[in-house]
Amino acid sequence: MVKIAPSILSLNPLTMLDGIRQAEEGGADLFHVDVIDGVFAPNISFGPSLVRALYKETTVPMDVHMMITNPMRYLETFCGAGAKMISVHLETLDKWSCAHYVRMAKELGFEAGVAIKPYTKIPAWLREFYGDLSYIVPMSVEPGFSGQSFLSDTLGKIQALNDDRRLGKYNFLIEADGGVNSSNVKLLMSRGVDVLVTGSAVFDAPNIKEAIRELKKLAEHQA
Ligand code: DX5
Ligand code: ZN
């Protein structure tokens, strides 16, 4: 079953709760929370206080995408604030810090993901962690903003991850993030995607509930 993860970066911060309620009614499976520090990526967004506040408002699990240069420093804080899933960027990791990361995830009890910028190649060492990771996020836009166009170059990486997963019998999920909309959902599903992050395609739609239901229907029809 596909999971739809609306990205709250697309919402007006002053009326965010309204969008969140509509997304819940539409059947959001996760809320994708983009944490951006203005250094790793060119925008500044949310911190742990928002995650903590949302945790009190919704039972939908939060998937926190850390687009920050030193994610290790904040894992405990975001996890304590209520993040169930946390992804950190491959570009901030090496083999040793990745080992530390998956250990921290086990200790703190969150699902560990690794996000990858569109033009970053996956290094051989990452495969050693495929058994420990809950999900991998091959990004299809440059990190920073909602509303960018889907980069189809990412499809090859998604396919390669799906092949590696099948061959190695791994359980990690593949999460698509960036420019996901009704025109590419079927393609993404056919390449093995399990989680669809979607910001502008649902939150800028005239009817948020309908937009989520429609995406899910399209995705499930393909799967
Ligand atoms: C981009 C973020 C995405 C973004 C998705 O840096 O990681 O999660 O908010 O928004 P759309 O679906 O509009 O590309
Ligand atoms: Zn994201």
Q: Tens digit of pLDDT for each residue in 79-132?
A: 999 999 999 999 999 999 999 999 999 999 999 999 999 999 999 999 999 999
Q: Which of 18, 29, 94, 177 is catalytic?
A: 177
Residue nearest to atom 9 of ligand 1 (CA): 146
Q: Which of 29, 34, 63, 194 is catalytic?
A: 34
Instruction: Give the span between the Cα atoms of 96 and 64, in whole angstroms.
Output: 22
- Tokens matching residue 70: 């030193």
DSSP 35-74: EEBSSSSS-B---HHHHHHHHHH--SPEEEEEESS-GGGG
Query: Average pLDDT, stretch 23-37?
Result: 98
Instruction: Give the span between the Cα atoms of 97 and 164, in whole angstroms.
Output: 22
Is residue 198 within 6 Å of ligand 1 at its C-beta?
Answer: yes
pLDDT at 209 over 80: yes
Is residue 143 within 6 Å of ligand 1 at its C-beta?
Answer: yes
Is residue 199 within 6 Å of ligand 1 at its C-beta?
Answer: yes
For tokens 């005239």, name the residue.
Answer: 206
Domains (range + CATH), the chain: 3-222 (3.20.20.70)
**Whole-Å CA distances, 81 to 32, 54, 59, 66, 77:** 14, 9, 13, 14, 6
Residue 223's pLDDT is 55
- Give the number of other Cβ atoms within 10 Å of residue 176's Cβ: 28
Query: Average pLDDT, stretch 189-207?
Result: 98
Residues 6+ apart with CB under 8 A from 110: 75, 79, 83, 84, 85, 86
pLDDT tens, residue by residue, 128-186? 999 999 999 999 999 999 999 999 999 999 999 999 999 999 999 999 999 999 999 99
- Give the number of other Cβ atoms within 10 Å of residue 11's Cβ: 20
- Rg over alpha carbons for the chain, rounded to the nearest Å, is 16
Instruction: Kindly report the pTM of this predicted structure.
Output: 0.98
Measured in Å, residue 199 CA sits from the centre of ligand 1 at 6
Is residue 34 within 6 Å of ligand 1 at its C-beta?
Answer: yes
Active site residue 34: yes
Instruction: Give the span between the Cα atoms of 122 and 138, in whole angstroms.
Output: 10
- Tokens matching residue 220: 């499930």
